[in-house]
Structure 1
Amino acid sequence: SDYSADDYNESNEDGLSEPCSFSNSNSVNGVVGPYIHSIICILGLVGNSLVILTYALYKRTKSMTDVYLLNVAIADLLFVLALPFIVYNELYSWPMGQVACKLLRGSYSVNLYSGMLMLACISTDRYIAIVQARRSFRLRSLSHSRIICALIWIFALLVSVPTFHFYHWYEPSHNDIVWFNGTEEEETTDPQYVCDWKFDDSNTARIVKVAVPSTQLAIGFFLPLLIMIFCYTAVIITLQKARNVQRQKAVRVVMVVVLVFIACHLPYNLALLYDTVSYFEHRDCHAESSLRTAMSVLQTIAYLHCCLNPLLYAFIRVKFRNHFRRIFQDLCCVGKKNITPR
């Protein structure tokens, strides 16, 4: 099956199914794609590059949190580098061939899983450091964190195998047919290749189209969310017992981290859950168009989180901000040396 049956819902006078236009969804994608995603790409690129640069040149990874933060920044950076190509693929035909198609969609999936699971690891590390303080010296070691990160990347790669396998570069068969005054006519324009799901039979299509988003929901959202809620709730309870100003600031930071995560990811994942559960139910063109438009907007809000991670996890730390200032001071010094005549 090269295309979704949902694209062909309305019937003409002869009882034949005509394709849905999705004009509202396309117009929203036309605005969201080029402009808002460009802002996300720039902010994500700058923020995550600064985090990686700081760890590479100024600050050694001395704790488990440092290792996790570095890996989150790498996952987010790879994600924002792939995002312009994903947006282009959704708006236009895909000109870059089969290998680039598989690498693009597969890397997107790997970075999504690894980034979200790393955030869960950061919350677990903070839980051990604050709630299980007596055991923290034994549990929180650099070697453990590096092994955990390596396992997460391998696991994310394994979970993304169906995406690598079933995404193909091809010319959809329904591209050859256009509708004109209720009748089919052959299209004479150049072939439009897409980078999209492609299956050999309908049974495989049904299984994968439900299994992949279900896995994304379970492992890429609900599992990290539950871990974060459990760990940060225990952290807040422990910090509340110590009545001092510094601990109260820490509680506020934890609350902001959790609320931002939920605000960014929960709406889109609820929409994805609804889409997955009702996948085999008939939806008319208007309902399908409304759902696509909503998911496009909510997905963009979820993408914003990769820009906010550096602010929430790295720049909020005093030592990290000091290293961050040093980067700009050194850049200014280099610039002055190049500009000042010898």
Structure 2
Amino acid sequence: MDPPDDQYSLLQELLNMINESTYDPSYVQSETVKLCPKLLVNDFGSDFNPPFYYFNFLLSYLGNGLVLYIIFNLPFWATYFLSQWVFGSVLCKMVSSAYFIGFYSSILFLTLMTFDRYLAVVHAVSAAKSRKRSYALVSSAVVWCVSILASLKELVFQNVWDNPPYGLVCEETGYSRETMDFWRLVSYYQQFSVFFLLPLLMVTYCYVSITLRIMSTRMKEKCRAVKLIFIIIFTFFVCWTPYNVVILLQAVHSSGEEKDCDDSNTLDYAMFVTRNVANLYCCISPVFYTFVGKKFQSHFRRILVKKLPCLRRRLSLSSFSTRSSSQKTPHSEYEC
């Protein structure tokens, strides 16, 4: 057996070798770094987020299969907030990026659908030539490409690491603090400008134009259509504005030199709440775009009659009344 002095020297040499191999000068700080305690904030998130994630998941299942496909990862996040990340590094990257791909694509597709309705109502004659399947495919491809590019940050930066006392966490790590702060600011301003401000302006302009066009016609149900348009714009604004205001405040706070822990914790609380409200809009918006439309109602009646023949007489009478009224009022087939 080696003498104690030799064992100590060997151990010291081994530690020096480890330090030299893992040393990264970008992590060295020449000043004191103030760390904000996040125990209360994380405890709040672990209690508040899971019910919302499960609820949004079930609501998406009932409301729209596409939305369900897009935000399939919510059960992963619900399990994560209840305990720790147990799904590995690969799923950490995939679920994180898929979450934001779904988040971004949902708002872009809803904006695209609004623009399509604007063309169909306000520019009906010219839109009849341009609204072809090829344009729809190209537009959808552009939406997916933009959403994927905007979500690459999560695919690169997200990783799993052990963070006592929380256990395994799926968070941004592996790069210098300056690099992660820079790309975090980019994502904040990207979210606010590209995925909120621009869609909000487009949705508002399109629906105001649609409303003015409807009011200028003799459409019998124009009051109902205008009310529905108002509900869509109001819901969009109420659900998305708080989250994006918090995003903007996060960007301002992150770019400041002095970071107050109380302000940071307050923004974290607000982020938990407003992000779930924004998620909720992606689940309830298909109701406005499908279930309230006359074409969807007509197809839904046919399915019910096919599956439940006992309802044939009642639904056929209802459909006849709808068709009779629509023949008397031009543009009543318009779906808001």
| TM-score range for the pair, normalised by the shorter chain length | 0.7 to 0.9
Letter paired with 1:36: F
1:117 alignment partner in structure 2: 108
2:20 is the counterpart of 1:20? no
2:196 is the counterpart of 1:217? no
Cα distance in 2 for partners of 1:258, 1:152 equals 21
Cα distance in 1 for partners of 2:108, 2:35 equals 42
Cα distance in 1 for partners of 2:110, 2:277 equals 18
> Are the aligned partners of 1:232 and 1:254 in contact in 2 as well (CA < 8 Å)?
yes
Decide which of 262, 266, 273 is 1:290's aligned counterpart. 266
1:1-342 alignment runs, 5 A limit:
19-23=36-40, 25-49=41-65, 74=66, 76-172=67-163, 175=164, 192-281=167-256, 282-327=258-303
Is the alpha carbon distance of 1:238 and 1:16 closer, same or farther for their aligned partners in structure 2, counting shifts above 3 Å?
Answer: closer
Deviation at 1:209, TM superposition (A): 1.2
1:56 alignment partner in structure 2: none
Letter paired with 2:129: R
Larger RCO of the pair (alpha carbons < 8 Å, separation 6+): 1
Aligned-pair RMSD on alpha carbons?
Answer: 2.3
Aligned-partner SS, 2:170: strand
Cα distance in 2 for partners of 1:102, 1:149 equals 24
Q: How many aligned residue pairs are there?
A: 277
Alpha-carbon displacement from aligned partner over 1:119-178 (angstroms, at most 9, x marks no partner): 111111111111112211111112211221122112211222222111112234xx3xx8
Cα distance in 2 for partners of 1:241, 1:204 equals 54
Is the alpha carbon distance of 1:36 and 1:158 closer, same or farther for their aligned partners in structure 2, counting shifts above 3 Å?
Answer: closer
Letter paired with 1:201: S
Q: Unaligned stretches of 5+ in structure 2?
A: 1-31, 310-336
Cα distance in 2 for partners of 1:84, 1:332 equals 34
TM-score of the aligned structures, taking structure 2 as reference length: 0.75
Deviation at 1:97, TM superposition (A): 1.1
Is the alpha carbon distance of 1:87 and 1:217 closer, same or farther for their aligned partners in structure 2, counting shifts above 3 Å?
Answer: farther
Aligned-partner SS, 2:72: helix
Cα distance in 2 for partners of 1:285, 1:203 equals 19
Moved more, 100-109 or 315-324: 315-324
Is the alpha carbon distance of 1:327 and 1:243 closer, same or farther for their aligned partners in structure 2, counting shifts above 3 Å?
Answer: closer
Determine what percentage of the aligned residue pairs are the same residue: 27
1:7 alignment partner in structure 2: none
Aligned-partner SS, 1:81: coil
Cα distance in 2 for partners of 1:225, 1:113 equals 14
Deviation at 1:89, TM superposition (A): 2.7
> Are the aligned partners of 1:22 and 1:285 in contact in 2 as well (CA < 8 Å)?
no
> Are the aligned partners of 1:22 and 1:289 in contact in 2 as well (CA < 8 Å)?
no
Is the alpha carbon distance of 1:246 and 1:301 closer, same or farther for their aligned partners in structure 2, counting shifts above 3 Å?
Answer: same
Cα distance in 2 for partners of 1:225, 1:208 equals 24
Aligned-partner SS, 1:20: coil
Deviation at 1:331, TM superposition (A): 5.6
> Are the aligned partners of 1:169 and 1:196 in contact in 2 as well (CA < 8 Å)?
yes
Deviation at 1:117, TM superposition (A): 0.8
Alpha-carbon displacement from aligned partner over 1:78-123 (angstroms, at most 9, x marks no partner): 3432112123334432111111111101111111121111111111
